[in-house]
Structure 1
């Protein structure tokens, strides 16, 4: 009996983390949190920012023009995200932590500069350049945690890391509830400059993962982009690109349009403008809590039933909840409360992104891992930019927000047929 108990304790014992691993994780997590905050700030301040800047740029601030300009700026932001694939080869060549710090520094500086915009054109440029930095942070943070953490901890580490992005949504909602309502949209963008401190900490205090050092020592670095698109990796690269594209379309359809939908429903229910903005902030907080729980539930599920089945569960959940919220609750006579209730479930299944933080590093060797992660995530953002532009045009044409967003559920159904082509890596160690 005692020997059984002792073996159970040994099995449950985890490899302790050293100071650099702990500091590196919190640096990556904080950067990813502020990355999420930055991404969502724009969704929250879209209407007041464009209401002020469109007339200064020679356009009327009509609801139609605000919707169209907002979609164009979203698309440019996503194109910037897409161009972030440049960070991957740099990280494979020069190291994870240095390039991670550079991505954080980039998006922080240009988010802060967004507060100084005097025209819609200036705001578009700043958001595009901030997107280049934001897009690289996920790939490098995910790669760093996968390589730096011990094998028996890295899977949960991926789930913990992904909570940061949605904690950023919650933080953005809290700032909008306090700073945004009182001081306006420029103050919200100024808060996005805070991650510069995180960048400095990552650069000065965190060591490179040993896996990257060993790989760099024995490999003459060639062309990682050519390798991930070559015969050895081609299939898994393109399958990952398609699956990430589907996840990104869902993120921007569900999460980004959520504040606008809540504001519309709140105003329809009789609330004043300030009350509607506060309600949108509270709804965003609920969405974020749901997503954080989804991120934490995902790694144990992926270990239990496998990566592919777990993603299938989350994709099916996304399809159902997008239809339930934007396709059904949004059109109810008193739809505000049901819509917000659906948002919690939508947030939970939005935690599917945590699987990619866990799964992508398992599919590629160290010498090309950051390049593969950055390329696969960037590919989806280019497609997401086009879908976002089409969504804006559909909203403008149909004069409704709910139906065009609800139709994005179709891509998750398509994803269920793509998942079987991906490799199953449950039980495998991170390839060197």
Structure 2
């Protein structure tokens, strides 16, 4: 049995982290935080950005056109996320920290460039390339923490890491409440260029995990081909399916949340500026709930196992989406019931923390980053198609409620997939 596991079970003090592990974690967490901020900036500034850019692109800025263009641009963003699987083989070949810095640099630069867009097409291109960078950051940050941290800290580290993304939601909401409200949507995208500094820190200050250095000396194989061979094949297919469920549900609930709150606030008699601020506050509640969900997940996964924990969170997500968009959204005075349910939606949205813990446990070091990046990318491609279909349904039905509420059924399907997954409870990270 691993010495760190023995120490933990024996009640001994946990293995201390060295300077490189601490700096590396904060670099990964900071990148993931700014990643979440960057992702959610788009949802918060969607309406004002497209209201300005659609006329410049030759289209009327009607609510229907804003909704359709927003769905198309977000689908492009998710396609960029899907293409982020290219970072995995690069990280398995050239190292975790160098490629992690490259992902941060990419999404930061192109988010900043989004502030200069003069047409819908320019904005779509910048968001597409930013998506390629953002999508790679999660896989590489999760792989780095799993490999660099000692075994008795690795699992909780995955929960800590995942909080960064949702802290980014909270940061985006705070920036929108202050900078965005006073200086407009372009200023929000400019703040997304800040992670360039984080990329430089990651590149210069953090050492590669020893696990990767040891594997670097071995004979090289194609990691993308390896994850579809032998015992990895079934794991890869099942993991990709489960992540597809999680991604569809996350984006359906989180992306449409600001628009839903804004509509409910205006319906309640608020002015547009007050409605925008209420949407920012609601996003903060969603983010706080998700951070708590992320922190609660690792201990639960250690107690009852990975598969049962995911089933619990998937059931919670199905209920939360149905209650928020299927019930509260349609009430005569639904604003505050909707906001209250958002906390529940946020908590169970913390299911993503499980994948940061679970996926690295299912693959060897030589293919770990590739497997993580591939499994997350598949879901983003499918999520892009679902998001486009949701936009068309919203346009056809004239309401967000029912189309988004229907995505709760995806989590029911996810419950049927979980039994086919590999349970790794009680096992250490493979070499």
Per the alignment, residue 3 of structure 2 pairs with: none
Task: Write the deviation string for residues 193-239 of structure 1: whole angstroms up to 9, x where unpaired.
Answer: 0000000000000000000001111x211101101012331100000
- Paired with 2:281 and 2:165, the residues of 1 have a C-alpha distance of 17
Task: Write the deviation string for residues 84-109 of structure 1: whole angstroms up to 9, x where unpaired.
Answer: 00000000000000000000000000
1:373 matches 2:378: no
SS class of match (2:366)? helix
Per the alignment, residue 48 of structure 1 pairs with: 48
What stretches of structure 1 move > 6 A for 4+ residues in a row? none
CA contact (8 A) 2:8 2:152 kept: no
SS class of match (1:366)? coil
Task: Write the deviation string for residues 67-94 of structure 1: whole angstroms up to 9, x where unpaired.
Answer: 0000000000000000000000000000
Task: Write the deviation string for residues 377-408 of structure 1: whole angstroms up to 9, x where unpaired.
Answer: 00000000000000000000010101000000
Per the alignment, residue 4 of structure 1 pairs with: none
Shift of 1:9: 9.8
CA 1:227–1:9: 2 relative to 1, 3 Å: closer
Per the alignment, residue 231 of structure 2 pairs with: 232
Q: How does 1:122-201 map to 2 (within 5 A)?
A: 122-201=122-201
Task: Write the deviation string for residues 246-303 of structure 1: whole angstroms up to 9, x where unpaired.
Answer: 0000111000100000000000000000000000000000000000000000000000
- Paired with 2:240 and 2:258, the residues of 1 have a C-alpha distance of 28
Shift of 1:8: 9.0
Per the alignment, residue 407 of structure 2 pairs with: 408
- Paired with 1:431 and 1:80, the residues of 2 have a C-alpha distance of 30
CA contact (8 A) 2:89 2:369 kept: yes
* Structure 1 unmatched runs, 5+: 1-6
Per the alignment, residue 251 of structure 1 pairs with: 250
SS class of match (1:122)? helix
1:261 matches 2:265: no
CA 1:54–1:155: 2 relative to 1, 3 Å: same
Per the alignment, residue 3 of structure 1 pairs with: none
- Paired with 1:80 and 1:321, the residues of 2 have a C-alpha distance of 28
Per the alignment, residue 356 of structure 2 pairs with: 357
Per the alignment, residue 115 of structure 2 pairs with: 115
SS class of match (2:175)? helix
CA 1:9–1:323: 2 relative to 1, 3 Å: closer
- Paired with 1:9 and 1:257, the residues of 2 have a C-alpha distance of 44
Equivalenced residue count is: 425
SS class of match (1:263)? helix
Q: How does 1:8-19 map to 2 (within 5 A)?
A: 11-19=11-19
- Paired with 2:312 and 2:152, the residues of 1 have a C-alpha distance of 24
SS class of match (1:367)? coil
Name the TM-score, length of structure 1 as normaliser: 0.98
* Structure 2 unmatched runs, 5+: 1-6
Per the alignment, residue 75 of structure 1 pairs with: 75
1:35 matches 2:59: no
SS class of match (2:151)? coil
Q: How does 1:301-316 map to 2 (within 5 A)?
A: 301-316=300-315
Task: Write the deviation string for residues 307-337 of structure 1: whole angstroms up to 9, x where unpaired.
Answer: 0000000000000000000000000000000
CA RMSD in angstroms, aligned pairs only: 0.9
1:421 matches 2:431: no
SS class of match (1:270)? coil
